[in-house]
């Protein structure tokens, strides 16, 4: 993973700050879960070693011993061992003939002494087929030479053999002192089992808590990221939208943030847990048997090599996957929004092929990554199984040599599985994190994109005496890094009570000119003033509150007719909406709908016609009761009769407002107070209709093409 990708992903970690307390609690629960899981094999080993192999004998230092047995142990022990035994016991004050272990006794020395004594008795008993501890405690040990010889031979025996014989002896000593060794054995097993169950329940509760907290944090982070991303996109001017495609922004808001959410969940639940278990497992393994650690080192080395190979092979594909998802979304979105055109031109096969190409490219890349993962998982399972065989084979040899107990090998095997599974989980995270890193990079790219149009801190207010005026003073504009201007030295003024119309050929810059008024773009030369103030010195919200805008493409949102109208004024009364509908010539088709203005509107207004969509857009604009109205070719879908009736009503309704109309039809603007004729970004004519027919050849050509030569 490249460092710059990691750094950008890390910058998004700031979104965890509001959840810092939950994260800390989650970490505490993770450590609790890990400690529980790491200690369970120890308790299991104790049950096997102590509860079964040692028949429940927890210590080789008997807590109680009868006088006869104590005397026998002293008789078969060497001077040092005899001193350790004698100094460890005191006569019981309550039970006659019983000696109890002193509280300050050196149990380590005592256990060694008892072990040596047990092996000496074993040799004296001469019972190679089995050690009868009860019989051994009844032996005649008066022959000092024989005892001395047996003691010397005992010291040459394997430690594991001596300890096992000591277990038999201690059980007999416990029985002779009035205890029940079988009951003590079962009590130890039940007690250890109950403790294991309690630890398991604590671990399960911690795991559930971590799962709940991680889900809450990741969902909250994803929500905050989506919210900030949406707010950032809303602050973009058209210049930023030129950099990011709509399909890409949708992918970043959905798929990319979902990847970050998934990794956040896994990080809190697994990414931290796996290293704890791996390191903890290594520590436990070393504490159990250093001689078998090489088996784990070998397995881990192979796993690390495999992870590195997978990482180097799969990493470059993740960024490709995200870009291919962008492309697939783009193709799907274009096809769905343009389905009518596709069907009209019979281009279904072409669109299907285009979608299939994008879909197949994504499939092939995903297949490549999945094949790598598919190979990796069985390989790791094979390594895990081979490690189990190696541990069992090595452990069996150690048990046979008396160097390990069965429980130790069982615990070692479980710790080996913990370690291997930890590396397996880490390898999966190495697959997930790079993909999330790419997603984080893409999300951060949007979040860190500084809008080119921002409000000044010392923003001015409009002048009251010039409210509604729009003035262009030697305005020039070019897009991004383009070499040539699309608007050249534009100067004009539009004032309240007057209608200013703009006409020109397609691509002459009409819509671009209107975008400068709304400050969707900033001029690259000159100035645009609204209300007597340069729009760059106004707050965007204040500027746009002054304008009722109808875009070139009528846009309605899913909801109802009423909810769409209230975009202009959420506090509008029923009468205000009825008047706006009437002026826009929408009353007839709205009245025909069963629910009137509360009739549903589909996404994009797909359940109303183009003309109805334009009229509702006009109704929404005039409902704002703004001092400035901008109509960007907003009458193109209307028939001439409706167009004429709407403009007549509109003139009466907005008679005191500034009206700017962009139109393709001469009939729509021929009654305007001033008409501006644009050609290749320049004003080539201005005046009223009659004046332009005689003074502007461009306008005359447009009029002749629409009205006929006779009208011109």
Model pLDDT, residue 324: 81
Name the domain boundary from 415, 447, 479.
447
Residue at which a domain ends, from 602, 621, 640: 621
- Whether 262 and 407 map to the same domain: the answer is yes
Q: Verify that 164 and 218 share a domain, yes or no.
A: no
**By C-alpha distance, which of 359, 342, 360 is closest to 351?**
342
Angstrom CA distances, 642 to 116, 505, 631, 638, 647, stand at 115, 24, 16, 6, 8
Describe the strand order of the beta sheet including 547-550 as a list of residue ranges.
547-550, 628-632, 658-662, 499-504, 674-679, 682-687
pLDDT for the residue numbered 70:
83
Query: What parts of the chain have a pLDDT lower than 50?
Result: 1-7, 128-129
Query: Are 99 and 66 contacting, i.e. CB atoms less than 8 angstroms apart?
Result: yes
Phi-psi region of 115 (alpha: psi -120 to 50; beta: other; left: phi over 0): alpha
State how far the Cα of 318 lies from the Cα of 320, in Å rounded to an integer: 5
Q: Tell which residue, 474, 461, 472, 526, has the closest CA to residue 502.
A: 472
> Are 41 and 87 found together in one domain?
no
Residues 295, 321, single domain; the answer is yes
Residue 75: which domain range?
A: 64-176
Residue range 582-602, pLDDT digits in tens:
988 888 888 888 888 888 988
CA 253 to chain centre: 12
Domain assignment present for residue 247? The answer is: yes
What is the pLDDT at residue 217? 92
Segments of 359-518 assigned E as strands: 470-477, 487-494, 499-504
Give the pairing type, strands 628-632 and 547-550. parallel
In this structure, are residues 620 and 567 in contact, taking their beta carbons and an 8 Å threshold?
yes
Domain boundary among the residues 155, 176, 197 is at 176
- Do the domain assignments include residue 432? yes
> What's the CA gap between 592 and 613, in Å, rounded?
15
In a domain, 51, yes or no: no
Give dist(CA 246, CA 354) in Å, integer: 18
Q: Are residues 300 and 390 in the same domain?
A: yes
Q: Are residues 100 and 152 in the same domain?
A: yes
Q: Which residues contact 196 (CB under 8 A, 6 or more apart)?
A: 40, 43, 44, 47
Exposed e or buried b per residue across 270-280, where buried means at least 16 C-beta atoms within 10 angstroms of its C-beta: bbbbbebbbeb
Q: Is residue 551 part of a domain?
A: no
What's the total number of domains in the chain?
4
Q: Does any domain span residue 202?
A: yes
On whether both 602 and 693 belong to a single domain, the answer is: no
Residue 404 CB-half CA count within 13 A = 25
The pair of structure tokens assigned to 53 is: 């192999």
Tell me what pLDDT residue 502 has: 93
User: Please, which residues have CB within 8 angstroms of residue 556's CB and are 6 or more apart in sequence?
Assistant: 564, 601, 604, 605, 608, 613, 616, 617
| CATH for 634 | 3.40.50.300
DSSP-derived 3-state class of residue 526:
strand
Sign of the dihedral through C-alpha 574, 576, 580, 582: positive
Predicted local confidence at residue 4, as pLDDT: 39
638 and 598 share one domain: no
Residues 15 and 164 in one domain: no
- The tokens describing 453, both together, are 């149009």
Let me know if residue 452 belongs to a domain: no
Kind of pairing between the strands at 628-632 and 658-662: parallel
**Which residue in the block uniquely carries the two structure tokens 């539009």?**
494
Q: In this structure, are 117 and 263 located in the same domain?
A: no
Q: Which two tokens stand for residue 425?
A: 């989980």
DSSP secondary structure code for residue 553 in this structure: S
pLDDT in tens, 134-185: 676 777 777 778 888 888 888 887 777 777 788 888 888 888 888 888 888 8
Inside any domain, residue 89: yes
Phi-psi domain of 199 (left: phi exceeds 0; alpha: psi -120 through 50; beta: other): alpha
The Cα–Cα gap between 9 and 440 comes to 5
Q: Identify whether 9 is part of a domain.
A: yes
Tokens describing residue 467 = 């409210």
pLDDT of residue 711: 52
CA-nearest of 456, 457, 322, 300 to 390 is 300
Q: 325 with 364, same domain?
A: yes
Q: What are phi and psi of 492, to 5 degrees?
A: -170, 170
Where helices occur in 401-492 by DSSP H, the ranges are 406-447
Indicate if 248 and 233 belong to the same structural domain: yes
Distances in Å between the alpha carbon of 191 and those of 51, 196, 411?
10, 9, 19
The pTM for the full model equals: 0.70
Rounded distance, CA 359 to CA 335, Å?
A: 14
Q: Domain containing 229 — which CATH number?
A: 1.20.1560.10
What's the confidence (pLDDT) of residue 98? 87
């Amino acid at each position: 993973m490249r460092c710059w990708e990691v750094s950008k992903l890390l910058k998004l970690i700031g979104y965890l700050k509001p959840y810092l307390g939950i994260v800390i609690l989650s970490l505490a629960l993770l450590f609790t879960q890990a400690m529980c899981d790491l200690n369970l094999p120890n308790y299991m080993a104790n049950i096997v070693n102590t509860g079964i192999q040692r028949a429940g004998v927890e210590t080789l230092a008997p807590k109680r011993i009868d006088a006869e047995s104590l005397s026998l142990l002293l008789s078969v022990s060497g001077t040092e061992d005899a001193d350790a035994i004698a100094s460890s016991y005191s006569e019981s004050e309550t039970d006659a003939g019983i000696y109890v272990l002193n509280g300050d006794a050196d149990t380590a020395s005592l256990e060694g002494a008892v072990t040596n004594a047990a092996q000496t008795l074993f040799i004296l008993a001469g019972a190679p087929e089995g050690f009868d501890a009860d019989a051994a405690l009844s032996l005649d040990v008066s022959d000092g030479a024989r005892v001395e010889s047996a003691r010397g031979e005992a010291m040459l025996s394997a430690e594991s053999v001596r300890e096992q014989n000591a277990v038999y002896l201690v059980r007999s000593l416990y029985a002779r002192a009035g205890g029940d060794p079988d009951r003590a054995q079962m009590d130890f097993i039940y007690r250890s089992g109950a403790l294991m169950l309690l630890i398991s329940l604590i671990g399960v509760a911690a795991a559930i808590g971590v799962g709940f907290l991680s889900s809450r944090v990741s969902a909250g982070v994803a929500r905050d990221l989506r919210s900030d991303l949406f707010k950032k996109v809303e602050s973009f001017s058209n210049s930023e939208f030129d950099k990011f495609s709509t399909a890409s922004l949708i992918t970043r808001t959905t798929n990319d943030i979902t990847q970050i959410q998934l990794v956040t969940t896994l990080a809190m639940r697994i990414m931290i847990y796996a290293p704890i278990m791996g390191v903890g497992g290594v520590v436990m393994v070393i504490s159990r048997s250093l001689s078998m650690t090489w088996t784990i080192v070998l397995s881990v080395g192979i796993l690390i090599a495999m992870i590195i190979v997978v990482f180097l092979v799969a990493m470059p594909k993740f960024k490709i996957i995200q870009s291919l998802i962008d492309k697939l979304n783009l193709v799907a979105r274009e096809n769905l929004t343009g389905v009518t055109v596709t069907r009209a031109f019979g281009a279904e096969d072409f669109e299907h092929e285009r979608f299939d190409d994008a879909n197949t490219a994504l499939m092939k890349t995903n297949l490549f990554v999945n094949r790598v993962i598919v190979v990796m998982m069985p390989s790791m399972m094979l390594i895990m199984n081979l490690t189990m065989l190696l541990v069992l084979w090595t452990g069996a040899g150690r048990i046979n040599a008396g160097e390990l107990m069965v429980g130790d090998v069982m615990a070692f095997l479980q710790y080996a599985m913990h370690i291997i599974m930890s590396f397996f989980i880490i390898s999966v995270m190495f697959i997930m994190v790079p993909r999330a890193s790419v997603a984080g990079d893409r999300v951060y790219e949007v979040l860190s994109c500084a809008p080119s149009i921002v409000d000044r801190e010392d923003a001015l207010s409009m002048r009251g005496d010039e409210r509604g005026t729009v003035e262009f003073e030697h305005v020039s504009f070019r897009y991004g890094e383009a070499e040539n201007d699309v608007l050249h030295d534009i100067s004009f003024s539009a004032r309240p009570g007057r209608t200013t119309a703009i006409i020109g050929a397609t691509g002459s810059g009409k819509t671009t000119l209107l975008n400068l008024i709304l400050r969707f773009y900033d001029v690259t030369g000159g100035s645009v003033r609204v209300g007597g103030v340069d729009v760059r010195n106004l707050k965007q919200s204040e500027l746009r509150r002054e304008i009722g805008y109808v875009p070139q493409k009528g846009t309605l949102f899913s909801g109802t007719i009423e909810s769409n109208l209230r975009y202009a004024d959420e506090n509008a009364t029923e009468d205000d909406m009825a008047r706006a509908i009437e002026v826009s010539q929408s009353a007839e088709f709205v009245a025909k709908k069963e629910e009137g203005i509360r009739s549903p509107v589909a996404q994009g207004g797909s359940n109303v016609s183009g003309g109805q969509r334009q009229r509702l857009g006009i109704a929404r604009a005039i409902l704002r009761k703004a001092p400035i109205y901008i109509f960007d070719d907003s009458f193109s879908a209307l028939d001439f009769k409706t167009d004429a009736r709407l403009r007549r009503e509109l003139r009466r309704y907005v008679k005191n407002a500034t009206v700017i109309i962009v139109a393709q039809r001469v009939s729509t603007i021929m009654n305007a107070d001033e008409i501006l004729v644009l050609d290749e970004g320049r004003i080539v004519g201005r005046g009223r209709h009659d004046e332009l027919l005689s003074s502007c050849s461009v306008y005359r050509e447009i009029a002749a093409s629409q009205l006929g030569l006779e009208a011109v």
